[in-house]
Amino acid sequence: MTDIVLFHHALGVTPGVTAFADELRRAGHTVHTPDLFDGHTFDTLEKGMGYVQQTGFGEVIERGVRAVDDLPADVVYAGFSVGVLPAQKLAQTRSGARGALLYYACVPVAEFGPNWPDGVPVQVHGMDADPFFAGEGDLDAARALVASTGRAELFLYPGDQHYFADSTLPSYDAAAAASLVVRTLAVVRAVDRVKN
């Protein structure tokens, strides 16, 4: 089965992040959930992003890079929202990456390199009316990524919630989250078949 590194969102390693990781584990995968916030968790996006801004986006990304130092290279990188930053950087720059799963966010490929790496599949998931994903450039970056490689897929879900796959939050959308999990497991199975 596949090793997955799952980076948390701006609320930290919350019960919702752990529950999502456990769902992937029940499918037989090994899921690592590094804590980029030194144990801090937050109850609002504003508080979490305040911590990120105080710490610095660059430092949060580098914490993600350091978190995988002792892991094998052939993993799938996944991230929720701000966790997409280290996931995308590692998928683009760490040799051996098997795939990327970018939930609620996507940054331009040029942030981490000239091109998306050959042979690395990537999925981007977001809601079509999410003010952060659709309104702040992430959707445009995802569309550009899809246009640049035959290994990218963009999945848009109807709605305006950001953390729609976190079962412990009021923003949870059960139908969209179920589709996200099915699609996630499909790409991870495909990666596993190629590996074996």
What is the CATH classification number for the domain harbouring 123?
3.40.50.1820
Q: How many domains does the chain have?
A: 1
Element (H, E) at 178: helix 174-195
> What order of strands is seen across the sheet that includes strand 122-127?
30-32, 3-7, 76-80, 99-103, 122-127, 152-157
Distance from C-alpha of 105 to C-alpha of 123, rounded to nearest angstrom:
11
Residue 196's pLDDT is 52
Residue numbers of the domain that contains 23? 3-195
Please report which helix (H) or strand (E) contains residue 128, including its range.
none
Q: What is the pLDDT of residue 168?
A: 93
Could you read off the pLDDT tens digit of each residue along the chain, which spans 196 residues? 889 999 999 999 999 999 999 999 999 999 999 999 999 999 999 999 999 999 999 999 999 999 999 999 999 999 999 999 999 999 999 999 999 999 999 999 999 999 999 999 999 999 999 999 999 999 999 999 999 998 999 999 999 999 999 999 999 999 999 999 999 999 998 887 776 5
